[in-house]
């Protein structure tokens, strides 16, 4: 309706009309009109390909109009509709706006890519317009035949399709569904007991109940999935199944009486070539960095003789470089200390660097780790900083009951080998398929088993109510915000309260320019609540190393951490969020005071 005869009439001035003017000026105005329409079609990920296709389409429309005018034919709506339709809905059909937004924003911000795409689109459009003007200047130029038009349309569709399937990597691909069942395991009335032995007994019972519930309630659904040849993976930590399937399968699954909800569980498309490894360029520390001294961890080592020995920390992240000199000595080893469901590596590996950095802050030696005497186990739950409900659950389930490579989590889990503390510098937002409660049964089960879950608050501050992505908002999770070297809560540190009204974070720790390990033996300073979280996990390892009777006593441990924390004032203004409880929680974690209280 916008590009009708009246629109083109404004650019057909003169007798006879000048085709070059119509193409150049009319095409430019039409391109602006179409871009304004495209700007309202959805997220930035969908708009970016429109910036490439709509300006050239506008000049093509102008050329068609000029040809029709020369042949004295009526330029109807059909060619306009087809061309605009292909230009708009082609990219939308083969583009996942979520994947584009996530992947591009990981390196540069969206405005940067908008500028790049706009420039590329205008360049293509101007080249086309010049070609159209040259062709139209020939007196013999005639409108294309119908067969030519159809052939062009088919070629455009095939080009877009092949580009999306082959060259459109990396990105999220396929469609998998995360099916959560209504019945979750009853974990009340568990055996009591102090210390590691009591924790192990509870973990064994929790594992048994979870597996029994999943086996009983999933049996009919799994049988039907096998009959329909729908590939699937069963889980027990959350009673759920991940299923290959699209909209039809989702509609069918949603009607089943045993199903509570069906979520999209997205998967990363593989890269055409291996992703490069991120390496650090900072020098190794010559002594404890500022963050270690700020929380008093170095004094715990020297004065209280606690280093985390006897405690194991589990890291779920991008991986861990097991060969890094600060981390290699602390790897627990055995056939159940590493799990990589993404790439099936059999030894600790990390390309991103994020997981190596966080593990180093928790248990790294050489001064960078809070608990250098603790051991660690690792799991890969994201790749290129993207995950899904099932990917996060893969690692949480492994941490409750580790199993050997290629083993069956239902039958070969070893709860007695579970790490005592989990550090989690990740969150699962709706764009990755999670809803607010999807991982709550998993956290509840880990809590019941006596395994402490420490999680990053997120980096969406200073906005209030920005602690939203699981598992950070859950009441039983020890949620960690970030402070800088001057003990001020950083602007990026997410604030509470949570969507359910719980005050978060629980504590804050150093998270600005924290030095730690990177793949290949290097070091780097990174910032984020991701960097603060493993330091709190390390403090708990120091506490439990100093007093093994506290192992698995999560309520007492959390109480000691809060009571010994150093108060931090909330900022004034828009980032106050109702006071300190929703900005800094109980305050800055104090390793020395917490370990002293644990010993007493």
Q: Would you say 198 and 191 are in contact if contact means Cβ atoms under 8 Å apart? A: yes
Q: Would you say 351 and 275 are in contact if contact means Cβ atoms under 8 Å apart? A: yes
The two tokens of residue 256 are 């089943």
The two tokens of residue 114 are 């908008």
Measured N-to-C along each axis, helices 27-38 and 77-94 cross at an angle, to the nearest 10 degrees, of: 40
Annotated catalytic residue within 96, 298, 317, 383: 317
| Separation of alpha carbons 279 and 492, rounded Å | 24
Query: How far does CA 455 lie from the centroid of its chain?
Result: 14
| Separation of alpha carbons 209 and 508, rounded Å | 35
SS3 378: strand
324 is catalytic: no
The two tokens of residue 260 are 């509570």
Strand partners, 339: 379
The two tokens of residue 536 are 């709190």
530 is catalytic: yes
Buried b or exposed e, range 436-461, using 16+ CB within 10 angstroms: bebbbbbbbbbbbbbbbbbbbbbbbb
The two tokens of residue 450 are 């006596």
SS3 279: coil
| Separation of alpha carbons 56 and 60, rounded Å | 6
Q: Would you say 449 and 420 are in contact if contact means Cβ atoms under 8 Å apart? A: no
Task: Give 3-state DSSP helix, strand, coil % of the chain, rounded to 5.
Answer: 45, 15, 40
Annotated catalytic residue within 129, 315, 466, 530: 530
Q: Check residue 472 and report its DSSP letter.
A: T
Of 255, 185, 266, whose CA–CA distance to 434 is shortest? Answer: 266
| Separation of alpha carbons 296 and 290, rounded Å | 10
Annotated catalytic residue within 354, 361, 425, 494: 354
3-state SS, 237-252, equals CCCEEEEECCHHHHHH
500 is catalytic: no
- The position carrying tokens 């579970």 is 418
The residues carrying an active-site annotation are 317, 354, 530
């Amino acid at each position: 309706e916008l590009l009708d005869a009246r629109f083109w009439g404004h650019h057909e001035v003169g007798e006879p009309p000048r085709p070059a003017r119509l193409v150049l000026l009319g095409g430019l105005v039409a391109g602006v009109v179409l871009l304004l329409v495209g700007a309202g079609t959805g997220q930035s990920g969908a708009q970016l390909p429109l910036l490439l296709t709509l300006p050239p389409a506008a000049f093509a429309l102008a050329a068609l109009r000029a040809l029709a005018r020369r042949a004295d034919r009526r330029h109807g709506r059909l060619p306009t509709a087809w061309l605009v339709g292909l230009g708009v809905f082609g990219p939308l059909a083969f583009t996942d706006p979520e994947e584009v937004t996530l992947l591009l924003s990981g390196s540069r911000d969206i405005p940067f890519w908008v500028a790049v795409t706009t420039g590329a689109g205008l360049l293509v459009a101007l080249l086309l317009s010049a070609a159209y003007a040259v062709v139209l200047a020939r007196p013999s130029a005639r409108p294309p035949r119908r067969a030519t038009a159809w052939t062009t349309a088919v070629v455009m569709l095939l080009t877009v399709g092949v580009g999306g399937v082959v060259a459109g990597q990396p990105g999220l691909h396929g469609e998998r569904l995360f099916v959560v069942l209504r019945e979750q395991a009853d974990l009340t009335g568990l055996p009591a007991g102090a210390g590691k032995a009591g924790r192990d007994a509870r973990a064994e019972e929790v594992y048994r109940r979870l597996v029994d519930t999943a086996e009983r309630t999933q049996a009919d659904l799994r049988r039907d999935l096998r009959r329909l040849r729908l590939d699937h993976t069963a889980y027990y930590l959350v009673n759920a199944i991940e299923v290959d399937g699209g909209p039809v399968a989702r509609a069918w699954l949603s009607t089943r009486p045993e199903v509570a909800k069906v979520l999209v569980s997205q998967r990363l498309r593989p890269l055409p070539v291996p992703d490069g490894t991120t390496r650090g360029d900072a020098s190794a520390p010559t002594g404890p960095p500022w963050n270690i001294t700020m929380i008093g961890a170095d004094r715990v080592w020297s004065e209280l003789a606690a280093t985390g020995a006897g405690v194991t920390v589990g890291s779920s992240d991008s991986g861990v470089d097991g060969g890094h000199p600060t981390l290699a000595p602390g790897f627990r080893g055995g056939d159940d200390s590493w799990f990589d469901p993404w790439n099936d590596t059999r030894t600790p590996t990390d390309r991103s660097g994020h997981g190596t950095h966080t593990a180093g802050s928790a248990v790294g030696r050489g001064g960078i780790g809070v608990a250098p005497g603790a051991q660690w186990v690792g799991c890969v739950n994201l790749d290129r900083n993207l995950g899904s409900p099932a990917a996060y659950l893969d690692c949480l389930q492994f941490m409750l009951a580790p199993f050997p490579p290629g083993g069956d989590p239902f039958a070969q889990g070893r709860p007695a080998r579970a790490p005592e503390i989990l550090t989690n510098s990740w969150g699962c937002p709706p764009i990755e398929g999670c809803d607010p409660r999807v991982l709550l049964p998993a956290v509840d089960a880990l809590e019941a088993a006596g395994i402490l879950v420490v999680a990053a608050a997120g980096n969406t501050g200073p906005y209030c109510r920005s602690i939203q992505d699981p598992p950070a908002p859950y009441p039983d999770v020890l949620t960690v915000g970030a402070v800088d070297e001057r003990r001020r809560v950083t602007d990026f540190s997410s604030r509470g309260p949570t969507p359910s009204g719980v005050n978060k974070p629980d504590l804050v720790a150093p998270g600005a320019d924290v030095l730690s390990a990177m793949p290949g033996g290097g070091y780097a300073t990174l910032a984020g609540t991701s960097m603060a979280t493993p330091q709190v996990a390390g403090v708990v390892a120091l506490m439990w190393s100093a007093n093994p009777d506290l192992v698995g006593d999560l309520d007492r441990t959390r109480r000691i951490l809060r009571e010994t924390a150093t108060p931090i004032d909330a900022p004034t203004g828009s980032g106050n969020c109702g006071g300190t409880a929703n900005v800094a929680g109980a305050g800055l974690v104090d390793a020395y005071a917490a370990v002293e209280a644990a010993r007493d």
